[in-house]
A and B are shown apart, each in its own frame.
Chain A
Amino acid sequence: MADVTAAVTAIPLVPFAAFLVALLVGHYAPRALPKGGALPGIAATAISLVLSVWAFLTVGAGGATVSQVWTWVPAANDSFALTFGLLLDPLSALMVVVVSGVSLLVHVFSLGYMNDEGETGLARYYAGLGLFTASMLAFALASNLLQAFVFFELVGFCSWWLIGHWFREPGPASAAKKAFLVTRFGDYFLLVGLVGVLGTFGTAAFAGDASFPALAHAALEGEASVNTFGVDPATWFTILGLLILGGVIGKSAQFPLQTWLPDAMEGPTPVSALIHAATMVAAGVYLVARLYGFYALTPTALTVIALVGGFTALFAATMALVKREIKQVLAYSTISQYGYIMLGLGSGGYVAGVFHLLTHATFKALLFLGAGAVIIAMHHDEDMWKMGGLKDRMPTVYWAFLSGSLALAGIVPFAGFWSKDAVLHHALTVGLGGQPLVLFAYLMGLVAVAFTGFYTFRMVFLTFHGEPRSETARDADAASANMRVPVAILGVLAAVVGLVNVDPLKGVVGERLLFLERWLNGPLPGLAGATAEHYHELVVDVAGFHGATVSPVVSAVVSLVFALTGVALAWTWYNVPEPVEKTDALGPAKTVLYNNYYQDEFQTWLATGVTEPLANAVDVFDASVVDGVVNGVSSTSLVASDRLRRVQTGVVTTYTTQLVFGLVVLLLIVLLLGGWF
């Protein structure tokens, strides 16, 4: 299958070539670069998309494969090799299609958002997009944790690059730094976990019989032994899983490392759509899905994932309720939706989590691109209270945005309904099946559904309905074609993509129409350990997550009622010609929400109020006590030896005298101790 490997290798390499073209031609011959690098980028992502779809079809025809592309460090003296490879299975095939598809649409949209607006630094912008796309595709196709880590860091670097596109202004520059540092904090845990995995198993491969999830399973069954450093294997695997989870929490903006994502909205809106909604933020949860054979072995890690997810879903949704800027609402909803994905994966719902990852990538990219079109029409004013009545000015964007909003709010039959409901249904069954903590996470997720409906439609009504509330909104121009087309494509997708897995209707339509579930179930010749069916067995047998029987329809109706309540409340308050800020009634609570529970202030206080005094105290201790001891020893010996060296006169007779004196003293001691006197 050499040709498959070559073609799949080209999926990340083609955007990388576009990155090089934009970088080098943009530097040496900027005028020769068509559209500032947009056209090479569009061509490259289109090629990647075609290859990805072909790879997707190959997998569908039974062509799932693992191959090794490059050996970084060869194995020596019973040590292990560090390699780069490709893992083409249903999950990665799905992911590369999503990534290259969204990337292509974002490139096209950028023609309208960046080029037509006369932005400078276009070569830099498109080079960043190209490198990001290449890294993200290589991450999705990674065959081992080390390679995944390398590209995990690269997408983080590209995120810094693109958030700071307008680096001459203080806001984007500081937001870029914050995004880089906060995600890096999580990545330290991932790096420690990676070293732990390599030290424990001697391999970091994701799939196959010699992969570390398979070895971990065998070790738990007592069929293989691995070096767990004297710790009980189950405990040790939980520790490793939680360490890796640190990187996931940083990258997927989960509590408590989510503060960077709202700030990242300082970047250009297409970047927000591509990186901070659809793909890079998905890298975290994708890693959990990729390692599902490992996480399914440790119920503790799964419960932590579910709790973090459920809590983040609710926590972020409350903050989205009161935001004024359209992109801020979307940023918090992104955090909240990734919380749902974590909830789904943590409660053992691998298919549900991946499903929500897929639908969320579609409708959130749509919402961001729609918001980008609105922001251009509003001349970069993002305050929703200055918008209003835009639906007559930009009907295409309005209808597409409405489709995405219905999907986000989880209204039947749009995409988000099916996937969010699959997540919630799964969490409910597992929660009722004897996992009270998962049930608690489910309840948080359920309450967040109502909040989601409310803030989504508050945003829609404030932006598009009612009377225009500013001169800019009154004179807003319609979006140009290169912005309308991507938005329209995604608008259609957001309406229909949920139909690939109509989970609540399982009893009505039968398993036949659950395309995604069948897709992820395999069968995979040679990769039996990477199917959803196998993961499900692990979750039940090893982690002990038994699902209670709850009709999917009941769960769906409950969450739909919650969503509709939120939407109805938004309707009555904000779908009027002259809406007012009803959330003011929350009083001081609103201030707390608007300031994100003062988390930024808390983190700054952690740095200046705790870490800095502690560092100063340690510095004082170091300078006085530690250095004092060292300096004292050295000055004592200096003074003492300065005195002592004076016995060396250089005259041989003196030395002889000293020798004889010493001999006499020794003799006296011997004689005294011998009792001669």
Chain B
Amino acid sequence: MVPLEYYLLFSAAMFCIGVFGVLARRNALVYLMSVELMLNAANVVFVASSAHYGTISGQVFSLFTMALAAAEVAVGVGIVLVAYRKFKDIDITNPTSMRW
């Protein structure tokens, strides 16, 4: 059996890749994918821990996370479409009026 630490390291790496994408990418679709990466990094930890400790709750939580991610993508893609209609582009640095 693979030790838990490996999963944790794998998950941390996935999360960091997601963070990097969120910080560095300007394409809105890539941005959304990066968010998905971070969410799934969390899922990996849930499932791995669930298997390691022999409880089912971690797996249940991972199902919740997937549902949440689906909802988030639905909203996110909607926003991307609106942004495209307005700016003829999906660069996330274009909308700057969402402030005071």
Q: Is the CB of B95 within 8 A of A657?
A: no
Q: How far is the CA of A656 from the CA of B19 in the complex (A)?
A: 9
Which chain A residues lie closer than 8 Å to B88 at the CB level?
none
In the complex the two chains form, is A650's CB within 8 Å of B23's CB?
Answer: no
Does A653 sit at the interface, judged by CB under 8 A? yes
The answer to whether A651 and B23 touch across the interface, beta carbons within 8 angstroms, is no
Nearest chain B CB to A648's CB is how many angstroms away?
4
* Distance, CA A648 to CA B31, complexed state (A): 20
- Quick one: which of B23, B31, B93, B96 contacts A660, CB cutoff 8 A? B23
A178 CA to B83 CA, complexed, in Å:
77
Q: Does A645 sit within 8 A of B, measured CB to CB?
A: yes
Return the CB mask of B80-100 against A: 1 if under 8 Å, else 0: 000000000000110111111
Of B19, B22, B92, B100, which is within 8 A of A645 by CB? B100
**The one of A645, A650, A656, A657 that contacts B97, using a Cβ cutoff of 8 Å:** A650
**Residue ID in chain A nearest B94 by CB atoms:** A651
Residues of B within 8 A of A660 (CB): 19, 22-23
Q: Residue on A with the closest CB to B28?
A: A652
Q: Chain B contacts of A652 at CB under 8 A?
A: 31, 92-93, 95, 98
Residues of A within 8 A of B100 (CB): 645, 648
Query: A657 to chain B: which residues have CB within 8 Å?
Result: 23
Any B CB within 8 A of the CB of A649: yes
Q: How far is the CB of A658 from chain B (nearest CB, A)?
A: 11
B26 cross-chain contacts in A, Cβ below 8 A: 653
- A4 and B99 CA atoms in complex are apart in Å by 81
Q: In the assembled complex, how far is the CB of residue A319 from the closest CB belonging to chain B, in whole angstroms?
A: 75
Nearest Cβ on chain A to B83's Cβ, whole angstroms: 10
In the bound complex, how far is the Cα of B26 from the Cα of A243, in angstroms?
A: 80
Q: Give the chain A neighbours of B96 by CB distance below 8 A.
A: 649-651
Chain A residues touching B, range:
10 to 19
Give B21-47 as 1s and 0s: 1 = Cβ < 8 Å from A's Cβ atoms.
Answer: 011001000010000000000000000
B19 and A649 form a contact (CB under 8 A): no
Which chain B residues border A656 with CB–CB below 8 Å?
Answer: 22-23
Contacts of B19 in A (CB 8 A): 660
- B99 and A649 contacting across the interface, CB-CB below 8 Å: yes
In this complex, the member of B26, B93, B96, B100 whose beta carbon has the largest number of chain A beta carbons within 10 angstroms is B100
Instruction: Find the residue from B22, B31, B98, B99 having the highest chain A CB count within 10 A.
Output: B99
Q: In whole angstroms, how far apart are the Cα atoms of A657 and B19 in the complex? A: 9
Complex Cα distance, B98 from A32, in Å, reads 80
Cα A656 to Cα B92 with chains together (Å): 11
Chain A residue, CB-CB nearest to B97: A650
Q: CB distance B22 to A651 under 8 Å?
A: no
Select from chain B the residue with minimum beta-carbon distance to A644: B100
Distance of A584 from chain B, by nearest CB (Å): 86
Which residues of A sit under 8 angstroms from B98, Cβ to Cβ? Answer: 650, 652
Given A660-B22, A660-B23, check contact A653 B99 (CB 8 Å): no
Q: Are A653 and B92 in contact (CB under 8 A)?
A: yes
Q: Which residue of B lies closest to A664 (CB)?
A: B19
Give the distance in Å from the alpha carbon of A653 to the alpha carbon of B24 in the complex. 8
Interface core residue of A645, A648, A653 (most chain B CB under 10 Å): A653
Could you tell me the distance between the alpha carbons of A655 and B26 in the complex, rounded to whole angstroms? 13
Flag if B22 contacts A650 (CB, 8 Å).
Answer: no
User: B93: which A residues are within 8 A, CB to CB?
Assistant: 651-653
Which residue of the partner chain B has the closest CB to A642?
B100
Nearest to A641 among chain B residues (CB) is B100
- Name A's B-contacting residues (CB within 8 A): 645, 648-653, 656-657, 660
Residues of B within 8 A of A (CB): 19, 22-23, 26, 31, 92-93, 95-100
> 16 A-B Cβ contacts within 8 A?
A645-B99, A645-B100, A649-B96, A649-B99, A650-B98, A650-B99, A651-B92, A651-B93, A651-B96, A652-B95, A652-B98, A653-B23, A653-B92, A656-B22, A660-B22, A660-B23
For the A-B complex with A652-B93, A652-B95 known, give 10 more contacts whose Cβ atoms are closer than 8 Å. A648-B99, A648-B100, A650-B95, A650-B97, A650-B99, A652-B31, A652-B92, A653-B92, A656-B23, A660-B22
